């Protein structure tokens, strides 16, 4: 896989600073039962990296020390971490909202038959990747048979109440473009998703989040190998909107890798760009328990234009 960090060193992105910490986005493992073309984590079935018990103890200390509102669990497939359930229970007991970044097919993997009911019992918000409501498009991006298993996963969640009004069980879908283009308007695409999934399968969900593909890791490497990297970066720059800067998720979110190291966002984690704060060596959860972050600078490179292009992009969908 080609390294895209050397292509992202222009440093012409506007300087931005942190607000109060609200969300910890924790990458529990790079192991995944899928291997998707757009994956900025380069996750897959052969990856073995996973958070240790010692780092999980550090995580609990941070959750107890800070007024964290949301614990956002991601991977890989975060559910494949052997202590996934322990972490969810700890956070929920502290009154912290938990988001599970679920690929849906994990719900039908052998050994994970319990998972959907566990998520519902603990009122975990499910944010599920479904890059299209078309079988061919999904299977092309995520692998043969993924669409059918994703649909079955959504139906299973619906049966438990997910996505239904007044259930208290939020089910959000995530859309990524298949190639080097910006996502279409989120509201219109959400209406299309709701209509097609309801008509074809009887599926309901809460919201659709559109996310711009980042020119890093597997997707960035693919662009570079096809000679499309520079054109894609120019597209992102040409569509830069300063109105999106106040709403960037990195301003109130910290990304934590499986080793406990800290980053300003999940994308910086994949580029190995440390937070420019709080420690002489690599910043770690151990330092975060006693630190205040407001006003500190955020590490940026040209990939940040992906979050500010057009309608903006975050793990919660559009910004503007």
- pLDDT at residue 133 in the model: 76
pLDDT tens sequence across 160-196: 999 999 999 999 999 988 889 999 999 999 999 999 9
Query: CA torsion, points 191, 195, 201, 205, in degrees to nearest 10?
Result: 30
pLDDT of residue 37: 56
Identify the pLDDT of residue 6.
84
Our count of domains for the chain comes to 1
**Model pLDDT, residue 83:** 97
| pLDDT, tens digit (0-9, with 9 covering 90-100), for 27-47 | 999 999 866 555 556 667 888
Query: Which range marks the domain in which residue 50 is found?
Result: 5-318
CATH number at residue 224: 3.20.20.70
Q: Which residues of the chain have pLDDT under 50?
A: none
Question: 142 CB contacts (<8 Å, ≥6 apart)?
Answer: 34, 36, 37, 129, 131
At 40 the pLDDT is 58
Q: Using CA atoms, how far apart are residues 219 and 221, in angstroms rounded to an integer?
A: 5
Question: What is the layout of strands, in order, in the sheet containing 70-74?
Answer: 207-210, 171-175, 125-129, 97-102, 70-74, 23-27, 253-256, 262-263
pTM over 0.85: yes
Q: How many CB atoms lie within 10 A of CB 167?
A: 15
Outline where DSSP puts E strands in the chain. Answer: 23-27, 70-74, 97-102, 125-129, 171-175, 207-210, 253-256, 262-263
Residue in the structure block whose two tokens are 């996973």 = 50
d(CA 26, CA 44): 17
pLDDT of residue 171: 98
CA distance 28 to 212: 23
Rounded Cα–Cα distance for residues 254 and 299 (Å): 12
pLDDT at residue 274, rounded to an integer: 85
Instruction: Identify which of 207, 303, 287, 177 has the alpha carbon closest to the alpha carbon of residue 248.
Output: 303
For tokens 């970066």, name the residue: 233
Please state at what angle helix 135-142 crosses helix 146-159, rounded to 10 degrees: 110
What is the C-alpha to C-alpha distance for residues 258 and 76, in angstroms, rounded to an integer?
A: 11
Chain-centroid distance, C-alpha 187: 20
């Amino acid at each position: 896989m080609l390294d895209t960090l050397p292509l992202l060193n222009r440093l012409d992105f506007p300087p931005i600073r942190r607000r109060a910490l609200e969300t910890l986005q924790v990458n529990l493992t790079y192991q995944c039962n899928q291997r998707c073309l757009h994956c900025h984590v380069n996750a897959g079935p052969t990856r073995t990296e996973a958070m240790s018990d010692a780092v999980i103890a550090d995580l609990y200390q941070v959750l107890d020390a800070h007024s964290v509102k949301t614990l956002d669990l991601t991977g890989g497939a975060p559910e494949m971490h052997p202590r996934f359930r322990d972490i969810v229970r700890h956070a929920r007991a502290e009154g912290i909202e938990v988001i599970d970044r679920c690929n849906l097919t994990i719900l039908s993997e052998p050994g994970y038959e319990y998972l959907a009911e566990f998520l519902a019992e603990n009122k975990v918000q499910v944010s599920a990747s479904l890059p299209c409501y078309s079988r061919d498009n999904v299977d092309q991006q995520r692998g043969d048979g993924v669409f059918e298993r994703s649909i079955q996963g959504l139906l299973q969640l619906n049966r438990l109440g997910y996505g239904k009004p007044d259930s208290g069980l939020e089910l959000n879908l995530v859309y990524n473009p298949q190639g080097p283009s910006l996502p279409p308007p989120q509201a219109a695409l959400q209406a299309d998703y709701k209509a097609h999934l309801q008509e074809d399968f009887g599926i309901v969900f809460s919201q659709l989040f559109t996310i711009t593909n980042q020119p890093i890791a597997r997707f960035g490497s693919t662009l570079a190998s096809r000679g499309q990297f520079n054109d894609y970066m120019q597209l992102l720059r040409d569509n830069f909107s300063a109105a999106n800067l106040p709403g960037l998720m990195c301003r109130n979110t910290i990304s934590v890798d499986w080793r406990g190291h800290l980053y300003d966002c999940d994308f910086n984690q994949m580029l190995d760009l440390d937070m420019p704060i709080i420690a002489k060596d690599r910043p770690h959860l151990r330092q975060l328990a006693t630190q205040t972050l407001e006003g500190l600078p955020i590490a940026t490179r040209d990939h940040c234009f992906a979050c500010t292009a057009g309608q903006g992009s975050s793990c919660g969908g559009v910004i503007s």
